[in-house]
Every structure is written in C-alpha cells, then in structure tokens.
C-alpha cells in the first residue's frame, strides 16, 4: 500500500500515544477517539508500512522491535513539534517580536516616544526599532512595518491613522539676532535674512518654507549661510544666533518660555494636519504591531 505523508503523520502521532501509554484505553481518551477507531488507525498504519508495530495481549500493549525502531527515530521529532507548537501558542497569546518604524526626529520625540514609554513596560517581549528618516522612505522596500509622516504627505494606497494633533510651524531666532537684523513682517521679508535651511534626501534641494494666512499661501525657497540635514541641527544653529529656523512649534516651545528664542510671522503659520502612521494594508500585521497601533492612535484632545 502506498505511503501517504498526510495520513502517516496523523497515524504516527496516534501510534506514539499508544506506545507511550501502553494502553489503547488511555490513548483513546487522550486523542478523543473511540478504542475501535484507534485500533483501526494503528492497523491501517501497520498495513501501509508492512510491519507490525504493537504487540497486543488482553492485558497489555507493547511496541514490537519495529515499533521500538519507529519510536527511537520518530518520537524526538514529535517532541520537537510539540515544543514548537507550544512556543507558537505562547507567541500568539503574548504579543512579541520587533516592530520597525521610520520617522523624523520630531515625530519620534513628539508622538512615538510618549506613547511607547507607556506601553512597552507592559509588553517586555515587544521590541521597537526607529529609523530616523527625512527621505520619505519606501517602507515596503526597506522592510519597515510603518512610517510616520504629516497627514498631507501620506502616499495613496496606504492605511493612514492619525497619531497626533494638528501642528503649526514656527519661524524663530534669538533675541540678539532680531536686535541686530530686525523682524520680518511678511514671508517675503525673509529673503533679506540669513535663513537656516534643511535639505531632504528625496527633494534634491532645500526644503521650502510654507506659509498660509487666510487662504494666502506662500511657498518660498530661501538662502542662508547654513544648510543642515536634520531639524535638530537647525535648532542648534538657531540657538547659536546663526539665523532664522523654520521648525515645528512643539519643538521650540520650551525655548520661548526661557527667552532663548523669539517667534515671528505667527499669523502666517496656520495649523495643518499632524502626524499619521501609515502602513501597507495587504501585509499581515502581528499582535505586537496591533498593540503599538492602539497605543499610538490619536483620539483628540
């Protein structure tokens, strides 16, 4: 009779239980089968293999020499499978694994870290990697589970979930800078100032400063002595008195309070859609990702 791997795997498992228990009665109870069904299963297995596996008497059941051989060679594999299944069950019951995010420094600081510091202590088996990203990373090609972008910058075809409130930008410099060079009152006035610019990898040039006042929109590329690659570097340069920086409002609030920075053109910096978490809909997400998504989701003030 030909060997069928699917049937043999199930029947070998039944044989292992009978041989271990040395009893069809106890084995049948464990397997949830009737004794007659279990006996037939073992008989069909023996017929397929062409050898007798169990020696049966009215009082006992014991493996034959062929049965002992099968136990020595098959039992370790079944034990390993049981261990793997137990591990898989634990993984399913308790969220674990690594979740990778791509986000700018400001997004990580303002929305990721506050949520993660609350949830991660409750789930010690969840690990998080944050790729600091100003290049609008392709999360599919880079193996990233989710990215963080401003709402208006999320590509079509992605699932997008708000994870933070609306935002505003701020044009800032030190009091000493404004004392020396004066205040701008219109975005076009910035052309007469030393502006600290940000260059993004995907833009191929300097990031444009965007303004909006009652529907009047201005998008200006400005010049200055300094071009940097991160918002943190732009903030450092502004604090050093080297020019004006265009930064997220939440990144500079503390410096207003302390008098280290002064804000201008406030009426030209209207709120806009804040940070969103985006990810691929067709990719199966694990429990760890679901836990973090729930923690990050923004429900309003």
SS3 assignment for the chain: CCCCHHHHHHHHHHHHHHHHHCCHHHHHHHHCCCHHHHHHHHHHHHHHHCCCCEEECCCCEEECHHHHHHHHHHHHHHHHHHHHHHHHHHHHHCCCEEEEEEECHHHHHHHHHHHHHHHHHHCCCEEEEEEECCCCCCCCCCCCCEEEEEHHHCCCCEEEEECCCCECEEEEECHHHHHHHCCCCCHHHHHHCCEEEEEECCCCEECCEEEEECCEEEEECCCCCCEECCHHHHHHHHHCCCCEEEEEHHHHHHHHHCCCCEEECHHHECCECCEEEEEECCCCCCHHHHHHHHHHCCCCC
Specify whether 151 is located in the same domain as 174. no
CATH number at residue 278: 3.40.190.10
Specify whether 14 is located in the same domain as 78. yes
What is the predicted pLDDT for the residue at 140? 63
Specify whether 87 is located in the same domain as 51. yes
CATH number at residue 183: 3.40.190.290
What is the predicted pLDDT for the residue at 32? 85
Specify whether 159 is located in the same domain as 281. yes
Specify whether 105 is located in the same domain as 227. no
Number of structural domains, the chain? 3
Specify whether 161 is located in the same domain as 282. yes
Query: Is the pLDDT confidence value at 7 over 60?
Result: no
- Give domain status of residue 101, yes or no: yes
Specify whether 77 is located in the same domain as 205. no
* pLDDT tens for each residue of 221-257: 998 999 998 888 999 999 999 999 999 998 899 999 8
Specify whether 160 is located in the same domain as 279. yes
- Among the residue ranges 59-68, 76-85, 96-105, 219-228, the one predicted with the least confidence is 76-85
Specify whether 224 is located in the same domain as 260. yes
Specify whether 53 is located in the same domain as 106. no
* pLDDT tens for each residue of 38-64: 888 888 888 888 889 888 876 778 888
pTM for this predicted structure:
0.61
- Residue range of the domain that includes 55: 5-93
Last residue of a domain, one of 38, 72, 93: 93
């Amino acid at each position: 009779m030909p060997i069928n791997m699917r049937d043999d795997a199930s029947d070998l498992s039944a044989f292992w239980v009978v041989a271990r228990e040395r009893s069809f009665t106890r084995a049948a109870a464990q397997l949830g089968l009737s004794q007659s069904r279990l006996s037939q299963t073992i008989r069909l297995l023996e017929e397929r293999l062409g050898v007798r596996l169990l020696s049966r008497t009215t009082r006992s059941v014991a493996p034959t020499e062929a049965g002992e051989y099968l136990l020595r060679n098959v039992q370790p594999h079944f034990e390993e499978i049981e261990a793997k299944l137990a591990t898989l069950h634990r993984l399913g019951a308790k969220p674990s694994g690594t979740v990778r995010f791509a986000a700018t420094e400001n997004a990580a600081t303002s929305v990721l870290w506050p949520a993660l510091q609350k949830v991660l202590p409750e789930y010690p088996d969840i690990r998080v990697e944050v790729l600091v990203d100003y290049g609008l990373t392709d999360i599919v090609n880079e193996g990233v589970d989710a990215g963080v972008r401003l709402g208006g910058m999320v590509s079509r075809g992605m699932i997008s979930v708000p994870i933070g409130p609306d935002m505003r930008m701020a044009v800032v410099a030190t009091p000493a800078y404004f004392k020396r060079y004066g205040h701008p009152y219109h975005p076009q006035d910035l052309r007469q100032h030393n502006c600290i610019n940000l260059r993004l990898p995907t833009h191929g040039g300097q990031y444009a400063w965007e303004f909006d006042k009652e529907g009047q929109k201005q998008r200006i590329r400005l010049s200055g002595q300094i071009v940097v690659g991160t918002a943190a570097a732009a903030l450092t340069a502004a604090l050093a008195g080297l020019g004006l920086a265009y930064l997220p409002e939440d990144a500079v609030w503390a410096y207003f309070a302390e008098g280290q920075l002064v804000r201008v053109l406030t009426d030209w910096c209207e709120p806009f859609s804040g940070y969103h978490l985006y990810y691929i809909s067709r990719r199966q997400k694990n429990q760890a990702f679901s836990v973090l998504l729930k923690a990050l989701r923004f429900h309003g003030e």
